[in-house]
């Protein structure tokens, strides 16, 4: 019989991260459930980006376990991790677009690297991803230097969904955007989650974005995951720093 327990897409268990003498994580644990938008929050230096990099296999923790799609990813080599990486789309904080490639080439890059599709078909797929990211096809020939901040974010999002990932990881998606653009990006993220059946992990310090988009959040502090729940419940946390951070969720 099924116990209807939600499936975990990401499982972080007792993760320790040290850089020399500096301890960033000292036993961080949390789960990300299929189909949710899960936010990673905390103060500056709490290791939000570091844990994100561990999840997408861009850095290894000192100790502990991280499973993605049920597979242990700590200790995986470049070749072994490829099958898992292809199921994850990543949007970096500043877009990380290649300055020497136009928009169409940037979005099509994962398809050129990881599929054997012909070039014309890849371009067609890249245009579809641009449209899904609420961008007009007219931006396709533009270079990153010709784009506004909001457009760069959307191009980076289009590239992140190029391989039809199951898990989408967003690093500060709204940073550097004006409030109107940030809210429009929030709406787009929710639309894509519903349309493509995504599980989304996002790092954010934008409380409006958190309340608009996140189903649950984990608060990193004191080198551990202090609390993990809905924003509304976290606003009533026993930990003062957590309750203070999520105070706007009480209203």
pLDDT at 66 over 70: yes
Query: Cβ of 119: how many Cβ atoms within 10 Å?
Result: 10
Q: Which of 109-118, 143-152, 223-232 has the highest mean pLDDT?
A: 223-232
CA distances, 242 to each of 25, 116, 201, 232 (Å): 17, 48, 19, 11
Report residue 161 CA to chain centroid gap.
11
Where is 80: in which H helix or E strand?
Answer: helix 78-85
CA distance 165 to 90: 9
- Give the length of the chain: 251
CA distance 177 to 70: 35
What residue segments make up the domains of the chain, in order of their start? 97-163
| Mean pLDDT within 3-19 | 89
pLDDT of residue 68: 96
Biggest alpha carbon–alpha carbon distance for the chain: 56
Residue 4 Rama label (left phi>0; alpha psi -120 to 50; beta): left
What tens digit of pLDDT does each residue of 119-156 get?
Answer: 999 999 999 999 999 999 999 999 999 998 889 989 99
pLDDT of residue 205: 84
């Amino acid at each position: 019989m099924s116990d209807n327990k939600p499936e975990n897409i990401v499982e972080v268990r007792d993760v320790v991260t040290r850089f020399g003498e500096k301890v960033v994580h000292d036993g961080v644990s949390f789960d990300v459930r299929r189909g949710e938008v899960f936010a990673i929050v905390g103060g500056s230096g709490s290791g939000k980006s570091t844990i994100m990099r561990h999840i997408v296999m861009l850095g290894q923790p000192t100790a502990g376990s991280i499973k993605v799609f049920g597979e242990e990813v700590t200790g995986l080599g470049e070749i072994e991790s490829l099958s898992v990486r292809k199921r994850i789309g990543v949007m970096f904080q500043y877009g990380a677009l290649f300055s020497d490639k136009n928009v169409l080439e940037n979005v099509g890059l994962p398809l050129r690297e990881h599929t054997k599709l012909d070039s014309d078909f890849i371009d067609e797929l890249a245009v579809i991803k641009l449209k899904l990211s609420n961008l007009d096809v007219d931006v396709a020939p533009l270079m990153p230097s010709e784009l506004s901040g909001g457009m760069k974010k959307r191009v980076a999002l289009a590239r992140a969904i190029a391989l039809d990932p199951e898990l989408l990881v967003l690093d500060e998606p709204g940073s550097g955007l004006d409030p109107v653009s940030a809210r429009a990006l929030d709406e787009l993220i929710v639309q894509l989650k519903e349309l493509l059946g995504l599980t989304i992990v996002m790092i954010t310090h934008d409380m409006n974005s958190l309340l608009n988009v996140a189903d649950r959040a984990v608060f990193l502090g004191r080198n551990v995951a202090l609390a993990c729940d809905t924003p509304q419940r976290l606003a009533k946390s026993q930990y003062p720093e957590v309750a203070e951070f999520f105070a706007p969720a009480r209203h």
